[in-house]
Structure 1
């Protein structure tokens, strides 16, 4: 791209390019050169808009976490409708069918990125901790509605669902699990907390 050409929504353009590189080639391939080539912009664009590449990656990760807000709202609104197992299956499939698994791999892969994220995200892994909070809030609403037992420990169920879901979706080389596999996993985790 010639220099001097104004870019619209450059931040989103770069983040979307990072998504594609990360999903296609993995965290080792995510470099500023790969992102700018994928975005079709000049090599210096990342450094004109971010102090360094780790600052870009930290903003990218936090942006992807922020995108979960709409999913969290939709899941909260589904409390009391459908079945708990189906609602959780849909939510986990949406979370892990997105770039979330690749973002976790990226955070694990890059020490400097983890250190940068610790400045604003002191505990846990962004995406996973946000997803666990989303699931816990939903489960608490379902418990309040009587669709989970009164003694259901949502603070234990939520991270169990997230961790097990992550394991199901973590293989980037094979096809993602089908809905039935995710549903069976969800059912096995929450079965003891569903009223008889």
Structure 2
């Protein structure tokens, strides 16, 4: 199992992704007309390459619609209370919340604020997860968001060599992993998590 994914993990999915199309108000349009799950992706604005790969990965493989605030033209040009109010509204409107948890995002006051608000809106309904992403070539121990993985469900990759407790093999793919205080893990296929809202 890869608990912490690596920068560039989704680079094959970047082609054709237009970040400005992920900045439209997605909730009503995509839910009503297309029946798509909507996902608010919290991210550090410096992580646009990994962000575009993640959006492409989610939208192409799971038929969801991602929303990002960094390219939303309806946001004020200068960060203000209006910005915060609009972000709150977008988080509430979207079905799911994912933090693209790079080291930069973990250290960002805005990402932490969004995660806190996302927690209050999505945690009890199990509609929140982090996607831990370390720098390419770095060891897992250098990743700055390890403590987040103890609090929030996180997205991990299983390579097909793992087994459930009943010795049934875990199919290769992405899963949302929840760990309890004792280190016991519950895994849910990412597809199921995205479609359960």
Between structures 1 and 2, the one with greater helix share: 1
TM-score range, shorter chain: under 0.3
Between structures 1 and 2, the one with greater strand share: 2
The TM-score normalised by the length of structure 1 is 0.27
The TM-score normalised by the length of structure 2 is 0.27
Q: Bigger radius of gyration, 1 or 2?
A: 1
